[in-house]
Amino acid sequence: MRKLILFTLALVLFALPVQAGTYVQSKGATASSSTTVVATFDSTTATGNLIIVSCLGYGANGNFSAADGGPNTFTQILQTKWNNAFGNSVLWTGYVENATGKASHAITCTTTISEFRIVIWITEVSGILTSAALDKNAGATGSSTAPNSGNTATTAQANEFLYSAVGVVDSAAAVAQTAGASYTKRGVIDSANNYLHLAGEDRNVTSTGTYPGDWTLDSSQVWAAHIVTFKDAAAASTAPRKAVSY
């Protein structure tokens, strides 16, 4: 007699791993009495990745932009101009999503007015949406030992990559920057005679919220700070529970 065997295979609800935004590389460069400064990544950039550019200028009040000779087109996110005891200063941050990768990938920051000192910091990130990647941003200026961009608006999704830049303007002195809580500092570029200091940090978050880009300086300085958030390429998802009978 045929025996009816009935069994059920249950596929338990599970979350697919998140493809988190991942820091790849960064590079800085400096120029003096110029309208341009150029930084070149040490390694070939990958097609589909995100590239973030921050530029800091001192001595004029021009408008900044970034380019790499094509085909990538960089979009401005924030441009903060402020006048301080050392003169006019500008901190600019822009990006290109789904970038076309290149060997010896050079990025130029250009300002409309020649700056006494100008520095650039470029960052490559993988695992970010290739369209509509940009989410929230904030920026602020101040004079203290604790630069802070201020909080973003609430992020659109839980899993995002946060990037913060701090630009410090001082008078020919070295300045040490410490990354904010949960951030990783990726480096700093100092201008000739230490007039400018531009540093970048980043972190991953896994819940929606309002986030600042915060730093600590070893002495009170004039600063501007930016934070920008980008959406990770894949958020956690679930598979439906299934039952199979034989």
Torsion sign (Cα): 142, 145, 147, 148: negative
Q: Residue for token digits 């290109």?
A: 96
Torsional sign, CA 207, 129, 72, 203:
positive
Structural domain contains residue 4: no
The number of domains in the chain is 1
Question: For 216-219, which contacts have Cβ atoms below 8 Å and span 24 or more sequence positions?
Answer: 216/145, 216/146, 216/177, 216/178, 216/180, 217/144, 217/145, 217/146, 217/147, 217/168, 217/175, 217/176, 217/177, 217/178, 218/145, 218/175, 218/176, 218/178, 219/145, 219/173, 219/175
Structure confidence at residue 60 (pLDDT)? 82
Indicate whether 152 belongs to any domain.
Answer: yes
By the 8 A CB rule, do 230 and 98 touch?
no
63 is in which domain, residue-wise? 22-231
Residue 246 inside a domain? The answer is: no
Which pLDDT does position 242 carry in this prediction? Answer: 41
Token code pair at residue 121: 């910091």
What pTM was computed for the model? Answer: 0.89
Q: What is the pLDDT of residue 193?
A: 83
Q: Is residue 158 part of a domain?
A: yes
pLDDT below 70 — which residues of the chain? Answer: 1-19, 171-172, 235-246
Q: Is residue 3 included in any domain, yes or no?
A: no
- What pLDDT is attached to residue 85? 78
Phi, psi of 144 (to 5 degrees): -175, -175
Would 121 be classed as within a structural domain?
yes
What is Dmax (Cα atoms) for the chain?
A: 96
Residue 239 covered by a domain: no
**Is there a domain that residue 11 lies in?**
no
